[in-house]
Chain A
Amino acid sequence: MAHVPVSWYLTLSAILFGIGVAGFIYRKSIITVFMSIELMLNAVNLSFVAFSYELHRIDGHIYSFFVMVVAAAEAAVGLAIILTVFKNRGTLQIDEVDSMKL
Chain B
Amino acid sequence: MDTILFLIFAIIAVACAFNLVLQKHPISSALSLIGVMSSLAVLYLLLGAEFIAMAQMIVYGGAVMVLFIFVIMLLNAESEKSSGKSWFAQIAGFPLLCALVAMFVFLIRVALPPMRDVHFGDWVGGTAEAIGMLLFTKYLLPFEVISILILVAILGAVVLARKEID
Q: State how many residues of chain A have any CB contact under 8 Å with chain B.
A: 74
Bound complex: CA A86 to CA B13 (Å): 31
Q: Is the CB of A23 within 8 A of B85?
A: no
Interface secondary structure of A, over-half rule: helix
Known: A31-B71, A76-B67. A3 touches B117 (CB 8 A): yes
Known: A29-B77, A77-B160. A52 touches B130 (CB 8 A): no
Q: Which residues of B contact A6 (CB under 8 A)?
A: 115-118
Bound complex: CA A5 to CA B16 (Å): 23
Q: Contact string, B28-39, partner A, CB cutoff 8 A, digits 1/0?
A: 011001001100
Q: State how many residues of chain B have any CB contact under 8 Å with chain A.
A: 83
Partner of A56, one of B26, B78, B125: B125
Q: Is the CB of A31 within 8 A of B26?
A: yes
Partner of A65, one of B21, B71, B118, B131: B131
- Contacts A28-B80, A95-B85 known; list 11 others, CB within 8 Å: A3-B119, A4-B2, A4-B6, A6-B117, A14-B104, A54-B116, A79-B68, A80-B160, A82-B71, A83-B75, A84-B164
18 pairs, CB–CB < 8 Å, chain A vs chain B: A8-B118, A14-B104, A25-B93, A28-B82, A35-B20, A35-B26, A38-B64, A42-B60, A49-B52, A58-B131, A69-B146, A69-B149, A71-B64, A73-B153, A74-B153, A79-B68, A82-B75, A92-B80
A residues near B (Cβ < 8 Å) are 1-12, 14-23, 25-29, 31-32, 34-36, 38-39, 42, 45-46, 49-50, 52-54, 56-59, 61-62, 64-66, 68-77, 79-84, 86-87, 92-93, 95-96, 98
B residues near A (Cβ < 8 Å) are 1-3, 6, 10, 13-14, 17-18, 20-21, 26, 29-30, 33, 36-37, 40, 43-44, 47-49, 51-52, 55-56, 59-60, 63-64, 67-68, 71-72, 74-75, 77-83, 85-86, 89, 93, 97, 100-101, 104-105, 108-109, 112, 114-119, 123, 125-126, 130-131, 134-135, 139, 142, 146, 149-150, 152-154, 156-157, 160-161, 163-164
